A = this chain, B = another copy of it.
Amino acid sequence: MAEKRTILVTNDDGITSNGIAALVEVASEFGEVVVVAPNSAQSGVGHAITMRRPLRLRPVKQFGKVAAYSCDGTPVDCVKLAVDKVLLHHKPVLCVSGINHGSNASINVIYSGTMSAAMEAAIEGINSVGFSSLNYKHNADMDTAQLVARKVIKNVLQNGLPKHQLLNVNIPNVKPEHLAGIKVCKQAKGLWKEEFEERNDPFNRPYYWLTGKFVCEDKDRNTDIWALNHNYASIVPVQFDLTEYEGIKFINENWNIDVKS
């Protein structure tokens, strides 16, 4: 490789997870990898940042010769620290987050630490992709996910990604030979129906465990859920301008917001 290209790797399952090791392996084929990842699992933290306590950054030998740091903050903290204190604002050509153990398709993108880390990088103007495997297991086989990650990273570096967006890539839990393909999709309309499990402590006071069931009634064939259900890997281009432009028109036409009236 003529030019030395830095690729930042992070995740939300923690620096010791199987998924990040698989991603470091693939990313290393394309450039010089720098890892900054949480020291413990951070699933479900969303776009949380740590403001009420300071953060620690510790060099680790997790990945042989690859420069790697564990951080006691959230995935978004990791990206912020990587940019400011590890890369010293030398912009990486790419940030990849994952490979998450579990789906971030549909509405999961909102709750996902994996995707929030990728989004933070995108906000800072870095090409960015989050990868998630539908194999939830701790010792998940990442062969298919690696195949997809290799394909996606190659394309981002060769063919680019428009500004102000990142990619949410999910990989079905199938062997490489059963992967139907890679499909560019929209986010399926789905949600979690929460069902807290109520228990009583030894002093007879209630406490609640968050559980839940994912419900998706979106039958559109262009969604990530459809793709994954049919053994395709899904790529959803994701934006961080949350404006619903149609809503501006609706309010201007239907509301009275004159403060003098």
Contact A48-B51, Cβ < 8 Å, known A151-B257, A159-B254, A162-B247: no
Decide yes or no whether A91 CB sits under 8 A from chain B: no
**A256 part of interface (Cβ distance < 8 Å):** yes
Binary contact readout A242-261 vs B (1 if CB under 8 angstroms, 0 otherwise): 11111110111011111100
Tell which of B47, B110, B123 touches A191, judged by Cβ atoms closer than 8 Å: B123
Q: How large is the interface on A (under 10, 10 to 19, 20 to 34, 35 or more residues)?
A: 35 or more
* Residues from chain B with Cβ under 8 Å of A195 in the complex: 84
Q: Is A81 located at the chain interface by the 8 A CB criterion?
A: yes
Stretch at the interface among A13-21, A25-33, A93-101, A233-241: A233-241
Query: A243 and B250: CB pair below 8 A?
Result: no
Cβ-based interface call for A49 (8 A): yes
Shortest Cβ distance from residue A156 to the other chain B in the assembled complex, whole angstroms: 9
**A140 proximal to B (CB < 8 A):** no
* Chain B residue with the shortest CB-CB distance to A237: B247
B247 close to A80 (CB less than 8 A): no
Pair B84/A259 contact, Cβ less than 8 Å: no
Q: Is the CB of B84 within 8 A of A194?
A: yes
CB distance A258 to B181 under 8 Å? Answer: yes
| Interface residues in A110-162 (C-beta closer than 8 Å to B) | 110-111, 116, 119, 123-124, 147-148, 151-152, 155, 159-162
Known: A44-B49, A50-B210, A151-B257. 19 other contacts (CB 8 A): A45-B46, A46-B116, A47-B116, A54-B199, A55-B207, A55-B209, A56-B207, A57-B208, A81-B196, A84-B194, A85-B196, A107-B240, A109-B242, A181-B258, A235-B257, A236-B243, A237-B244, A238-B242, A238-B243
